[in-house]
Amino acid sequence: MIQIEHLYKSFDGKPVLRDVSLEIRDGETLAIIGRSGSGKSVLMKHVIGLLTPTSGRVQVDGTDINEIPYRRLREVRRQFGVLFQGGALFDSMNAFENIAFPLRTFTDMEEAAIRDEVYECLRLVELPDVGPKRTAELSGGMQKRVALARAIALRPRYIIYDEPTSGLDPETSNAIDDLIRALTDEMNVTSIVVTHDMHSVLSIADRAALLHRGHLHWVGTIDELHASDDEVLCAFVKANEYQIGVPQRV
């Protein structure tokens, strides 16, 4: 379980997050939505201690991650898979090596087993043949999917996705949404999905949290979201024009 308590963050005196409290329960998929610049990526980076709060606490399974020594923090981080907004693939390696990197670094797996695992991950993101390609040779959307494959390679307990479907065509987006849902169901993963895309939110999330100008403006389940008449939330949802074919959860 991840608990964010009264988190404030400012950069050079400029406030970005203001009193954000949020709980991410085990096994759930929480969507963090909000307009560009509202602080979603900043919030996500606090969860794994890449940014330290100006004040407030972040707890992972009951441990305040800003109170523990670096060595322990690294152990906590190993339970996470993180997909960064820009992919953040290592450009000194090709796609295969990127995905193999966490396996080679943190497991004692044989090279043959690593190979199988990498190709399984690539198959999951529907890119079976890009292994030998360098990062620069991949399109933006392909980079994102290779990065997703890298994030799930170690089968983490928590996965954080920063805009997993932005910049992807609708069909691939759906495939990624399916993958996220499958990972959550099969492996009991706890997921945080940062997104603009209401279509994704409705098809994968159990709950949604709306960040608005650094405040946590609204939190609730998808049913509550449908029923809500909150002005900011409605404006955000409307702007997404999700009315055109609301996906039904099965």
Partner 1 sequence: MASLSLTLTKPLRNVGLYVLLMVKAFASLGEFRLYRKNLFKQMVRVGIDSIPIVALAAAFSGAVTTVQTAYQLVSPFIPKRIIGSIVAPSLILELGAVVTGFILAGRIGARFAAELGTMRVTEQIDALEAMGLNSIGYLIVPRVLAGVVMFPVLYVVACFVGITGGIGVAHFGGYLEAGEFVAGAREFFQPFDPVFGLIKSVVFGFAITSISCYKGYYTGGGAEGVGRATTDAAVLSCVYILVADLLLAIVLL
Ligand X SMILES: Nc1ncnc2c1ncn2[C@@H]1O[C@H](COP(=O)(O)OP(=O)(O)OP(=O)(O)O)[C@@H](O)[C@H]1O
Positions in the binding site for partner 1 (CB under 8 A): 45, 48, 50, 70, 74-78, 80, 82, 84-86, 88-91, 101-102, 105-106
- Binds 42: which of ligand X, Mg ion, partner 1, none (CB < 5-8 Å by kind): ligand X
Q: Using alpha carbons, list the distances in angstroms from residue 156 to 1, 18, 77, 249.
A: 14, 29, 10, 25
- Binds 30: which of partner 1, ligand X, Mg ion, none (CB < 5-8 Å by kind): none
CB of 122 to partner 1, least distance (A): 18
Q: Is the Cβ of residue 74 or residue 249 nearer to partner 1 in the bound state?
A: 74
Helix boundaries (H) for 107-249: 111-124, 140-152, 170-187, 198-204, 222-227, 231-239
Q: Please report, as residue ranges, which positions from 32 to 71 form the binding site for Mg ion (by CB under 5 A).
A: 41
- Binds 50: which of Mg ion, ligand X, partner 1, none (CB < 5-8 Å by kind): partner 1
Task: Give the relative orientation of helices 111-124 and 140-152 as an angle to the nearest 10 degrees.
Answer: 130
Tell me the C-alpha distance between 186 and 80, whole Å: 17
CB of 32 to partner 1, least distance (A): 17
Site membership for ligand X, residue 47 (CB under 6 A): no
**Dihedrals φ, ψ of 89, to 5°?**
-70, 150
5: part of which helix (H) or strand (E)?
strand 2-11
- Binds 236: which of partner 1, Mg ion, ligand X, none (CB < 5-8 Å by kind): none
Tell me the C-alpha distance between 120 and 134, whole Å: 19
Structure tokens at 11: 């950069």
CB of 41 to Mg ion, least distance (A): 3
CB atoms within 10 A of CB 34: 24
Q: Please report, as residue ranges, which positions from 76 to 135 form the binding site for ligand X (by CB under 6 A).
A: 85
Residue ranges in contact with Mg ion by CB under 5 A: 41, 85
Which positions touch ligand X (CB under 6 A)?
Answer: 11, 16, 34, 36-42, 85
